[in-house]
Every structure is written in C-alpha cells, then in structure tokens.
A and B are shown apart, each in its own frame.
Chain A
Amino acid sequence: MKLAVKYFGMIAEAIGKQEEQLEITGNSVLEVDVFLKNKYAKLEFLNYKFAVNQVLVDGIKRLKENDEIALLPPFAGG
C-alpha cells in the first residue's frame, strides 16, 4: 500500500530526507518498521516512535492506503 512517510530530527539527518511516498507490503506499523530498517540500515541504531496520522501508535496499529506515518526520535521540547 502507498504511505506518506515523514522523518524528523536525528532520523531525518541519518537517512538524508524529511519525507517520501513509499509503496509498502504489509499493513501494520511493525511491518513498516521492518521494511524501513531493510531500506535504511542506520535505523537499527536509532531510537524512535511511530505516529500514524499525527497520533502516537504501537506496532500492531493497522494502516490504510495513504496514511501518514512519521518516525519520531526522542522529544526535546521546552
């Protein structure tokens, strides 16, 4: 399925981009994580959480076509 993937902070820096459209097999966040770690080996060494459509989710969250999924490194606001 097609997803809009967004990267922030040290994740964006490590993989060299802030967003992209990806065609991904599988329909859970966990499967997207595996897909992305295969594509970007550096992710293996980074700490991040996922948000789907701007809400934090866990790995079993099911995805729909055209969902926006974001990789969020540790927060540093305030």
Chain B
Amino acid sequence: MEKLLLLGDEAVSQGAIDAGMSGMYAYPGTPSTEIMEYVQRSKTARDRNIHRQWSANEKTAMEASLGMSYAGKRSMVAMKHVGLNVAADVFMNAAVTGVNGGLLVAVADDPSMHSSQNEQDSRYYGRFALVPILEPSNQQEAYDMSYEGMDFSEKYNLPVMIRLTTRLSHSRSGVKTKEIKDEKEISYPADPIQFVLLPSNARKKYKILLDKLTELRKISDDSKYNTYFDGEDKSLGIIACGIGFNYFMENFPDGICPYPVLKIGQYPLPTKMVQEIDGECEKLLVIEEGYPMVEELLRGFLNKEKRILGRLDGTIPRAGELNPNIIAAALGKGNGKTLQVPDIVANRPPQFCSGCSHKDVYEALNETMKLFGSDQRVFSDIGCYTLGALSPYKSIHTCVDMGASITMAKGAADAGVRPAVAVIGDSTFTHSGITGLLDAVNENSQITVIISDNSTVGMTGGQPSSALGKLENICVGIGVDPDHVRVVTPLRKYHEEIVDVLNEEIQYEGVSVVIPSRECIQTLTRKKKKT
C-alpha cells in the first residue's frame, strides 16, 4: 500500500492493475488517453506482461477486451465518449452475453467540448445497455471503483462502466492504493452458449439481464458510493452526481451544508435514497456533469409540481461543464466582484506546429482546388489536420466522425459533385476509413482521398499509428488501381509536384488515393532527443 499522485485517468488504470487486470485495450482519445498510457508506463504491467497495445479503434478494443474476459481473465477497455459510439454494437451486446473475467469499460466524457465534437453523456449508454455505472467524484474513488469494479463485474456477470469527465480525468491528487491481486487463470464460461446470441438464446439472456436490474437497484441503495448527508434546511435537497458533488461542496468551505445532500456515485439510481430525499425536501436541485439525465428521470415528462431544479429549468445552464461558480449561482449565492480581463487579451486557438506536414498538404491542396473554380468544398475528418478548417488555410469543410471524410465525399460524388475530395489522417483511416474506401472502390466512385500520413496519432500526443507502413498496401489490397495510389513528400520544395499529382488524380475518373507522407514534427523531435 502506498500513496501516489495520480490523474483521475491514471487512478482508474492503477486500480485495474492492482485488481489483477491481464489486458488493457484502447484507442487514443482526449480525455481518456492517459488511462492506457499509464498502463504502458507501469512497471507492474511490464513485469506481469499485461496486454497494453493500442487497438485500431474502440470497437476492436472492446471486442478484444471481451475476448479476454471470455477466457476468464480480467480486462479493461478505455475510450472517449464518442469512441463509445464506435464500440456501441459490442457494448450493447456484451451486456446481454455477460462476462466471464471482470470487464471494465472506462469512458471519459468531454463536457464543454474541450477536445471533442460533442458533449454526449455516456451514462445514457450505460442505462441503455442496462449495465451498472460507477461515477467517481475524486481520484481516490476512481481508484477504488476500478479496483472493486472487477469483483463487481464478476459477481453480477456484467460489464461495469466507469464514467469520467474531462476535469477528473486530467486532475491530479493523492491516491492510497490497495493490495495487488493475482491475475486470474484461463477458464472458459461454464455455460458453453453464454455468448451465443442466437435469437432463441438471446431472449433468455435478455430476460436474465432484466432480472438483474432489480438486484442492481437494490445494491445501489447499499453502495458506499451513494451517500445521504442529512441537513436541517429541508426547503431544498441536493442530488449531486460524480464531480458535481465537489463543485457543490466548494460553496461550503467549512464543510457544513444546511441542506440534505444525496451524493450519487453508482447507477442505477438508489431507489430508497431518492425517495427519502424527495419525501424530506420541498424542492430538489440536481447537479450532474453532462446531460440532465437524473434530472429528466425525476422530473418526468409533465413536470407537474415543478419541484425539480437543474439544467432543464435554467437553474443551471443546459450545456457545458460545471464549475463552483455555476453552482454558487444556482444556490443564489453571488460570486462577488472580480477583476476585469483587459479587452486587449486576444484569443489564442490551437494551431499547427511549426514544420508540420499537414501545412504543406493544405498549401498544395488550396492551390489545386483553385484550378477547379471558386467555392470548392473538401470533406475531412478528425485529427490535428482538422485545424486546416481554420484560418489561414480554410481548406476543409467537414469534421463529423472518424472516417466520414471518405464516405461523405463518396455521397457527394454520387450526387454529382466534382471534384469530390477527402482529407483523412493515417490513423483515422485505419480506425474507420478503410470500409468507406471499399464502398467507393466497389462503385468506382470518382473521389480523391488524401491520406495525410504523419505516421502517428498526433492530436492525442503521438501514439503509434496502426497504419504505419501499411497505407499503400491497404489501398491496393481493397482494389484501388495501383497507378492511382500516389505517394508524395509534403515539403515546400515539392510543392509544385504535389499540386501536379493532386490535379492529375482529381481528374481521374475513379477512386484515387494520394498519400503525402512525412513524420509528425513532434514525434520526430522526441525521437531525436532520445538518441
């Protein structure tokens, strides 16, 4: 047992390692990336040879994690909130199959969209799949929930979701660790058809899942992560979920709060406790990071008594991350006079690094697109290169979900758009771009796909790319004409050549792929420092 200074993400990793995890699976995504990175740095993980390689995407990661669970060993899969959309198929069905070895699904949401395209709330997925959700309010709970979550998962034969949000994921604090457990031995599920979701069996399994729900509600009432703190002033009761509890308590510096408070850390909601606070208090204020999920459940559609306060009635803003000041305002406490930020302070948005290969790609692309007339549109994707949508390049016009550049370009080409151009990164391409390219090949769509290959997962900090050294072979392998898979080097001195290649390939009446390939300046600098 020792005391460590850990990010919320890292506390989850350490908890799983200490609980005897044998395999960790993930695809990088802010704010979840550090969960895997910590396991990769961990000495215990190295000594035990815990699986800790990145997967091609969140779906393959979760399936591999489920496979390890099938084999009787404990595993964890981690992703950002939108990654769970990619893994949703296996997630929903793993709830029906159940698990064998403990299986934790760690999902980090990004309210306020610091580094994401939306702020969806993963607790809805947990509810949707009918699995238990653990939502830590601090780093110690993140550790404990992960450590105990493995037992919980095995006891109820279900995957367990651990839901984090950006602020806890990326905040550091002291964590006391527990005794490290042995890994599990390989053992198959006792029921050979447990994982066979043929309709006849799936119906039985679904019934079992529904029956478990009653049990899960009961244990939520006894969970140490759901706590009732009584208070004298019954005019208002507080239901505070996860990190929302901290922002609330920050408003009571001496730790004494006049209102009854129900702190929620485990779902489904504890029925008795919620009934108790509802019976005691005139009104209820629901504080939750993310969507108003609990609030909506308590309020109901008709909201007849108008007793439930939160994001839906405007007591708390409907969108965005919480903070202590938002909660102060919700409690009718002023935030006092503050110093003014001078008007001269300019915005400083993120931007391409000096020497980044994507910049050379966009210089060439902009010049090429001009040859085809004004107001040309380019479909793109998710990664560092998405910054090409901003000034000064303004080269790309879409960023929707991983892989969508290729398929959206195809759809636009189907509609008659010429030229139909997609820009995607190397890692995004192997994450979710390959199948889209196959669609285009099968219909000989007239699209040009630029795979801007910087040989890394850049935006999340330079993790190894699944695509490394494989891009040309993948494209040719799924049927792109080898004459129209062109590799160029994105450097200023080759600018004219790149423009020529792009121009030729855009004019080709079929699927063409241009691969500007040069390593990310950040990973390159790091490598040079090491040697």
A binds B: no
